[in-house]
Structure 1
Amino acid sequence: MSQNTRSIYGGQAVIEGVMFAGKHVNVTAVRRKNDEIVFYEVPRTTQRWIQSLKRIPLVRGVVGIIDSSAKGSQHLNFSMETYAEDETSDMSEADKAAAQKKEKSGWSLAMIVGVAAAGVISFIFGKLLLTAAPAALESLMFENVFENKIGHNLLEGLIKLIILLVYLYLMSMTPLIKRLFQYHGAEHKVISAYEAGEELTVSNVQKYSRLHYRCGSSFIIFTVIVGVIIYSLPIFDWDTIWERVYIRILLLPVTLGISYEVLRWTNALRDVPVLRYLGYPGLWLQLLTTKEPKDDQVAVSIASFNRMRELDKQMSMKA
């Protein structure tokens, strides 16, 4: 079966596991400390008006981010709680209380980092910060460098890109985030193997790239590129640093909406010679936000995907 006739699935990495979103259910598989794989299954219930908005170009991207944020947080919390239980299972009650407090504090950072890379929960807050800070920084440091506003916009985009790359690189060097990014890679490999019509075994899945055109990391890089283009339009000129910042914030939904359409477009063209290169900026960013997974991590991703597909089939038969 070709990719074009197969269902399109997405997912996200969670702590020691992977979540996949099906048509009727979202499923997370997490590997516990004793090697047992446990599942968290949540039926998908989306109000009709949200489903209607998701069919509207330019609007569906923003709606999808918000919807994913709400649903993805449940699965992240499940994985975090499961991890915390495993880490404190052999401790005394006093040590458990202290460790849980420490773990929640530490994992809150890990969640923010991992989720920002996948494009849920903290994406809106992170995007606001990543939009306003570079604009203000460029205005303060390079006010008189260019007479043309396009030059300022390009430099602003470069500053934004540098901040993003340095942030992701530093985070990817920590053991916690490295494992999260390995599960991110495992998620991509499973989707690619499925889209290629492969039997989902560990050896088959491992043959595929950890990079995927339809990734939230690609979406992030497209918002930087699209933002530079939109801000350079003459109608969005500015005179003061404050005008520059609030124009960026007001245009954020527009930037997100267009970037989502660009992401869909590059994914649709990924098998077309020459045009496939349009998606390469997103793939390059994924070199930071994904890592090569181990076999046991791929096995968790396969288990999550198979369970999602099994439940989706059962629910479709009942519908």
Structure 2
Amino acid sequence: MMRGPASIATAVREPSGEIMVKKEKLVSIADRYPVLKKPMIRGVVALIESLVIGLKALSFSAQAAGEEGEELSNKEIAMTMLFSLGLAILLFVVLPTYAAKYIHSAITDARLLNLFEGILRLTVFLVYIVAISLMKDIQRVFQYHGAEHKTIHAYEAGVPLTVDNVRGFSTLHPRCGTNFLLIVMVVSIIMFAFLGWPSLWERIVSRIILMPLVAGIAYEIIRFAGRSQAAWVRISILPGLWLQKLTTREPSDDQIEVAIQAFEAVRPSEDPEAATPPEGLCSPSAC
């Protein structure tokens, strides 16, 4: 699935072997309310919209691939997002914060306790990524993730988008959502280190309340990193690129072909609705 400046396209290979492409106009709530385009706010908006777009794309792909059921309704998407949010809070907020209390007797400095909690959160995140990467269906998703990145790299390099050309590019991309998640973890470790050590529930609530701010800061960092060519910036994003070795896989030629079809549908030069050049033409997973 690819997201262009003004439209979104999802390509799916049907059981017959043909590639079906669904293209939709990209409508953002930020277009109606310009204040949502302001720094620190736009990151939260982009994250929520990317989640919605991603769920719709997965629903469409499942239907087009011949699986039973219809595309998810808006209510079902909202319920799925709420469930996912609740699970994320449980795994990455409640669990590390609760576990950190067991070393309170050994460490009294609040900053060190919060840093330890942050390291626990990062560890849980990495274990989660490794665990899902072992699932067969997820491995296939990660192959398509790699195909998206290769296609975007080929476009940015200015080469014709053919399977042979795209195949030679890397599956790692600096604007990937994996980088964003890792930066969220790092920013949260730094920010929460200065919040003191109140009661367990106060710590949990404070982390939940501050997550939009953390996401906003992380978005601005990855946005800057995507534009900068400075050596120190290239070095600083290396951990995110290394992490993508878990969230991407080498795709097959058939998968690259699907990614190319999705990209061609939103290629800026061929998209009459596009008003701006692609500062980051990508899928939600690569934005």
> By how many angstroms is 1:34 displaced?
2.4
Pair 1:196-2:157 in alignment: yes
Instruction: Report the more deviating stretch, 69-78 or 193-202.
Output: 69-78
Alignment of 1:169-318 (within 5 A): 169-233=130-194, 236-269=195-228, 271-309=229-267, 313-316=271-274
In 2: Cα distance, 1:147 partner to 1:316 partner: 56
Pair 1:44-2:17 in alignment: no
In 2: Cα distance, 1:121 partner to 1:207 partner: 39
- The code of the aligned residue for 1:133 comes to L
Pair 1:134-2:96 in alignment: yes
> By how many angstroms is 1:135 displaced?
1.2
- The code of the aligned residue for 1:224 comes to M
Q: TM-score, with normalisation over the residues of structure 1?
A: 0.76
Segments of 5+ residues of structure 2 without an aligned counterpart are 276-287
- The code of the aligned residue for 1:205 comes to V
> By how many angstroms is 1:70 displaced?
2.5
> By how many angstroms is 1:137 displaced?
1.7
> By how many angstroms is 1:42 displaced?
1.4
Segments of 5+ residues of structure 1 without an aligned counterpart are 1-18, 86-99, 113-119
Q: Is the Cα contact below 8 Å between 1:146 and 1:152 reproduced in 2? A: yes
Aligned length: 266
Alignment of 1:62-81 (within 5 A): 62-81=44-63
SS of the aligned residue for 1:274 comes to helix
Q: Is the Cα contact below 8 Å between 1:23 and 1:312 reproduced in 2? A: no
Q: Is the Cα contact below 8 Å between 2:132 and 2:138 reproduced in 1? A: yes
Q: Deviations over 1:102-155 (max 9, x none)?
A: xx9xxx9xxx8xxxxxxx88764454231232112212x222221212221222
RMSD: 2.5
Q: Is the Cα contact below 8 Å between 2:14 and 2:66 reproduced in 1? A: no
Q: Is the Cα contact below 8 Å between 1:238 and 1:244 reproduced in 2? A: yes
In 2: Cα distance, 1:212 partner to 1:291 partner: 13
> By how many angstroms is 1:276 displaced?
0.8
Tell me which of 9, 15, 32 is aligned to 2:14.
32
In 2: Cα distance, 1:79 partner to 1:311 partner: 26
Distance verdict in 2 for CA 1:36–1:311, change over 3 Å: farther
SS of the aligned residue for 2:2 comes to strand
Q: Is the Cα contact below 8 Å between 1:27 and 1:304 reproduced in 2? A: yes
In 1: Cα distance, 2:21 partner to 2:127 partner: 34
Distance verdict in 2 for CA 1:121–1:200, change over 3 Å: farther
> By how many angstroms is 1:53 displaced?
3.6
Q: Is the Cα contact below 8 Å between 1:20 and 1:308 reproduced in 2? A: yes
In 2: Cα distance, 1:290 partner to 1:26 partner: 21
- The code of the aligned residue for 2:161 comes to L
Distance verdict in 2 for CA 1:35–1:121, change over 3 Å: farther
Q: Is the Cα contact below 8 Å between 2:142 and 2:248 reproduced in 1? A: yes
> By how many angstroms is 1:24 displaced?
2.2
Q: Give the share of equivalent positions with the same residue, in percent.
A: 35
SS of the aligned residue for 2:197 comes to coil
In 2: Cα distance, 1:309 partner to 1:274 partner: 31
In 2: Cα distance, 1:121 partner to 1:311 partner: 37
Q: Is the Cα contact below 8 Å between 1:25 and 1:312 reproduced in 2? A: no
Q: Is the Cα contact below 8 Å between 1:186 and 1:298 reproduced in 2? A: yes
Distance verdict in 2 for CA 1:47–1:224, change over 3 Å: closer
In 2: Cα distance, 1:310 partner to 1:230 partner: 38
- The code of the aligned residue for 1:148 comes to D
In 2: Cα distance, 1:31 partner to 1:142 partner: 52
